[in-house]
């Protein structure tokens, strides 16, 4: 029998009852409703949609990395949200587009003499990147409208999801602001804007995945209860690791924007020294060196081991707490990605930043963020449901 207690709302004076059985069912898994993380995700269309959105963001980030490594990001010199869906059609249209590109610093200083065929190749790389982003935006908005039309989401419930849709638009605008910075005086984009573009994508990915994990946790309360037996130490370490990983991703963006990965192809030494000359003295004031080529490369190279040490601490602490199966699985993957990521980073340096190694390094960094988000999400206790207001006379 459900246990009920009568109380009175302090704001309205209206009576309400706390249904203890209902509250408990949100925290524990009843025997007649076995549910796993995978089954919970598969059974809820909104959760599947959120996971699809997260996957699309990962694809966009990886494609964006390919475009950057192919030096194709500055090939389209205008931002036409609607008309840009269709590439130039016909010889005249292609020659007009090529003529516009020939006025840019990248053509004048790097690609002078490029043929129309070579231009078409890099154009299509950037065009595909923008097209995928447009399709992703539609795959956010259209299903959201359908969920509202079918009554799966009320207008109020849909607001966070519309926030995700708005972030897609903001991300597109940031992307163009970044590209525009490379169309004026120098054939390179601002490394600050590139880093902001990357971190905005990570933010978008994190929000979509976090919302999906919230819905999965509501459908798998037993696993959630086990996961949320984490100690304060594990919670603090998890958040510290997330902060460190975000710093490392930011420095990855700076290294990419500055092309700082090319300045040294030796490891562990740089220019024959563990602490290279000019690390903090090449620019004045000294702190400016923290976001210039040598400093960014050196920090990104060695801060990876700070991330690794924190990851080991999180794994040890959470295993000691007896975390549930989903978190344990995530921790296994986390350990593997940390080891693989550091190994990839070393080979990227030693081999002189080969495109596919560098692209794998970027992609794995994003995957590592997703895995860690599962652990951090488990470190946040679920919110208790609001009491149901009922007629006190019933």
Q: Domain boundaries in the chain?
A: 37-219, 222-382
The long-range contacts involving 75-82, CB below 8 angstroms and separated by at least 24 positions, are 75/101, 75/119, 75/122, 75/123, 75/125, 75/126, 76/123, 76/126, 76/127, 76/130, 76/179, 77/101, 77/103, 77/104, 77/183, 79/176, 79/179, 79/180, 81/134, 81/172
Give 282-316 pLDDT, tens digit per residue: 899 999 999 999 999 999 999 999 999 999 999 99
Q: What is the pLDDT of residue 327?
A: 81
The confidence band for 30, taking pLDDT boundaries of 50, 70 and 90, is very low
Task: For residue 268, say if its preceding peptide bond is cis, omega within 30 degrees of 0.
Answer: yes
Q: Computed over its alpha carbons, how large is the radius of gyration of the chain? A: 25
Q: What is the pLDDT of residue 219?
A: 77
Examine the pLDDT at 5 and tell me if it is beyond 50. no
Q: How far apart are CA 213 and CA 127, in angstroms?
A: 33
Q: What is the pLDDT of residue 125?
A: 96
The confidence band for 129, taking pLDDT boundaries of 50, 70 and 90, is very high
Q: What is the pLDDT of residue 380?
A: 83
Average pLDDT along the chain: 86
Q: What is the pLDDT of residue 319?
A: 84
The confidence band for 378, taking pLDDT boundaries of 50, 70 and 90, is confident
Q: What is the pLDDT of residue 383?
A: 65
The torsion angles phi and psi of 153, rounded to 5 degrees, stand at -135, 135
- Of 68-77, 157-166, 214-223, 369-378, the range with the lowest mean pLDDT is 214-223
Q: What is the pLDDT of residue 223?
A: 56
Examine the pLDDT at 34 and tell me if it is beyond 60. no
Mean pLDDT value of segment 140-151 = 94
Mean pLDDT value of segment 220-248 = 82
The confidence band for 228, taking pLDDT boundaries of 50, 70 and 90, is low
Q: What is the pLDDT of residue 144?
A: 95
The confidence band for 18, taking pLDDT boundaries of 50, 70 and 90, is very low
Q: Is 16 helix (H, G, I), strand (E, B) or coil?
A: strand
Q: What is the pLDDT of residue 332?
A: 85
The torsion angles phi and psi of 69, rounded to 5 degrees, stand at -70, -20
Contact indicator for 304, 345 with CB cutoff of 8 Å: yes
What is the percent of the chain with per-residue pLDDT over 90, rounded to a whole number?
70
Q: What is the pLDDT of residue 25?
A: 37
Look at the alpha carbons of 299, 304, 305, 307 in this order and tell me if their dihedral is positive or negative. Answer: positive
Examine the pLDDT at 386 and tell me if it is beyond 50. no
Q: What is the pLDDT of residue 222?
A: 59
Which pTM value belongs to this model?
0.85
Q: Is 157 helix (H, G, I), strand (E, B) or coil?
A: coil
Examine the pLDDT at 47 and tell me if it is beyond 60. yes
- Of 99-113, 189-203, 215-229, 250-264, the range with the lowest mean pLDDT is 215-229
- Of 212-221, 232-241, 290-299, the range with the lowest mean pLDDT is 212-221
Q: What is the pLDDT of residue 265?
A: 93
Question: How many other C-beta atoms lie within 10 A of the C-beta of residue 184?
Answer: 9
């Amino acid at each position: 029998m459900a246990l009920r207690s009568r109380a009175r709302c302090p704001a309205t004076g209206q009576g309400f009852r706390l249904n203890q059985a209902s509250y408990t069912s949100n925290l524990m898994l009843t025997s007649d409703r076995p549910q796993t993380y995978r089954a919970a995700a598969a059974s809820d269309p909104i959760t599947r949609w959120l996971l699809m959105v997260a996957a699309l963001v990962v694809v966009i980030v990886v494609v964006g990395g390919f475009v950057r490594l192919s030096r194709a990001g500055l090939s389209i010199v205008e931002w036409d949200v609607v008309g840009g869906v269709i590439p130039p059609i016909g010889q005249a249209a292609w020659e007009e587009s090529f003529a516009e590109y020939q006025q840019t610093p990248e053509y004048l200083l790097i690609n002078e003499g490029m043929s129309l065929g070579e231009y078409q190749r890099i154009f299509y790389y950037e065009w595909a990147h923008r097209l995928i982003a447009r399709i992703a935006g539609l795959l956010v908005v259209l299903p959201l409208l359908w969920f509202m039309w079918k009554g799966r989401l009320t207008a109020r419930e849909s607001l966070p999801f519309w926030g995700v849709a708005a972030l897609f638009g903001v991300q597109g605008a940031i992307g163009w602001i970044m590209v525009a910075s490379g169309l004026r005086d120098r054939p390179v984009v601002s490394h600050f804007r590139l880093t902001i573009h990357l971190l905005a994508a990570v933010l978008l990915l994190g929000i979509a995945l976090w919302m999906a994990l919230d819905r999965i946790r509501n459908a798998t309360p037993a696993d959630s209860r086990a996961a949320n037996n984490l100690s304060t130490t594990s919670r603090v370490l998890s958040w510290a690791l997330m902060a460190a990983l975000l710093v490392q991703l930011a420095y990855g963006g700076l290294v990419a924007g500055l092309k700082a990965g090319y300045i040294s192809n030796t490891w562990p030494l740089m220019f024959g020294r563990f602490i290279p000359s000019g690390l903090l003295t090449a620019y004045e004031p000294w702190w400016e060196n923290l976001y210039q080529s040598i400093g960014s490369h050196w920090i990104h190279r060695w801060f990876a081991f700070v991330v690794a040490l924190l990851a080991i601490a999180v794994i040890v602490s959470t295993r000691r707490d007896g975390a549930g199966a989903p978190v344990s699985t995530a921790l296994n993957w986390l350990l593997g990605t940390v080891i693989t990521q550091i190994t990839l980073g070393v080979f990227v340096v030693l081999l002189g930043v080969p495109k596919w190694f560098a692209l794998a390094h970027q992609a794995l960094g994003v995957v590592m963020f997703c895995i860690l988000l599962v652990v951090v999400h488990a470190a946040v206790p679920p919110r208790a449901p609001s009491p149901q207001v009922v007629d006190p006379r019933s």
